[in-house]
């Protein structure tokens, strides 16, 4: 900035007449534009670098939140998860979707093409919507721990749950989540955090 002031002062003091004044104005304008451009490039670069760092930290957190499982894979919410969720020997598909003002999970059974919609305004465990979900994944462990609560909503304890089939992990950054799994002929919610 000081360099710009010195240049401007020099040009003003040495210039005379209209043509020199126009040259001075052009030189000043060019110098300022170059500095603005350099600053904009640096700020854009800093912003991109910060976003990249934030995205890496978010992905690390999400992977770490699934690290309690022996076999878990993190997926983007736009990805389709494929596994045999209901244990009938055929691959099923799970899709996270927002429809109009509702959200939920659609599971398409591979054997029958039956679509099971979880959420979308209908009660599933203590939820009707899944718009809180920041990430999801596939868990292929054979057991997990479920957080249990009192009737007042306070954390009571935890219990071990045997998982017969692959499960869908759902989570919210820095809060937690749970699993959707198929037990005793229906999909159920296993709460993982408080």
Q: Within 10 Å of residue 109's Cβ, how many Cβ atoms?
A: 17
> Are residues 89 and 53 both part of a single domain?
no
Residue with token string 């039956």: 114
Given a contact cutoff of 8 angstroms between Cβ atoms, the answer to whether 137 and 153 are in contact is no
- Per-residue pLDDT tens digits for 74-124: 999 999 999 999 999 999 999 999 878 899 999 999 999 999 999 999 999
- Which pLDDT value is given to residue 146? 85
Strand 115-119 vs strand 167-172: parallel, antiparallel, or unpaired? unpaired
Query: Using CA atoms, how far apart are residues 123 and 129, in angstroms rounded to an integer?
Result: 8
> Are residues 81 and 7 both part of a single domain?
no
Given a contact cutoff of 8 angstroms between Cβ atoms, the answer to whether 112 and 175 are in contact is no
- In the chain, what's the furthest Cα-to-Cα distance? 93
Domain containing 168 equals 71-191
Q: How many domains does the chain have?
A: 2
DSSP single-letter state for residue 80: P
> Are residues 92 and 137 both part of a single domain?
yes
Residue 24's pLDDT band, with cuts at 50, 70 and 90, is very low
> Are residues 32 and 97 both part of a single domain?
no
- Which pLDDT value is given to residue 23? 52
> Are residues 117 and 163 both part of a single domain?
yes
- Per-residue pLDDT tens digits for 29-59: 565 455 555 555 555 555 555 555 556 656 6
Bin 8: left if φ > 0, else alpha if -120 < ψ < 50, else beta: alpha
Q: Coil, strand, or helix at residue 192?
A: coil
Q: Coil, strand, or helix at residue 73?
A: strand
> Are residues 43 and 130 both part of a single domain?
no
What is the token pair recorded at 156?
Answer: 């009571």
pTM over 0.75, yes/no:
no
> Are residues 56 and 98 both part of a single domain?
no
Burial of 41 (0-12, 13-18, 19+ CB in 10 A): exposed
Given a contact cutoff of 8 angstroms between Cβ atoms, the answer to whether 190 and 179 are in contact is yes
Given a contact cutoff of 8 angstroms between Cβ atoms, the answer to whether 116 and 92 are in contact is no
> Are residues 128 and 85 both part of a single domain?
yes
CA 78 from centre of chain: 10
> Are residues 39 and 99 both part of a single domain?
no
Burial of 184 (0-12, 13-18, 19+ CB in 10 A): exposed
């Amino acid at each position: 900035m000081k360099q710009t002031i010195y240049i401007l002062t020099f040009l003003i003091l040495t210039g005379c007449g209209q043509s020199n004044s126009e040259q001075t104005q052009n030189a000043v304008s060019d110098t300022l534009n170059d500095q603005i451009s350099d600053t904009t490039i640096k700020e854009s670069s800093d912003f991109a670098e910060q976003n990249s760092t934030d995205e890496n930290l978010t992905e690390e957190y999400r992977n770490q939140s699934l690290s309690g499982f022996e076999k878990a894979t993190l997926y983007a919410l736009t990805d389709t998860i494929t596994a045999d969720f209901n244990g009938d020997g055929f691959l099923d598909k799970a899709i996270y979707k927002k429809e109009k003002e509702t959200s939920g999970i659609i599971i398409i059974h591979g054997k029958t093409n039956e679509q099971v919609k979880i959420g979308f305004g209908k009660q599933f465990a203590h939820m009707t919507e899944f718009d809180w979900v920041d990430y999801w994944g596939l868990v292929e462990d054979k057991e997990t721990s479920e957080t249990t609560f009192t009737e007042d909503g306070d954390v009571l304890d935890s219990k071990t749950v045997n998982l017969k089939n692959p499960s869908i992990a759902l989570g919210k950054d820095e809060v937690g989540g749970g699993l959707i799994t198929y037990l005793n002929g229906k999909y159920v919610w296993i709460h993982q955090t408080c």
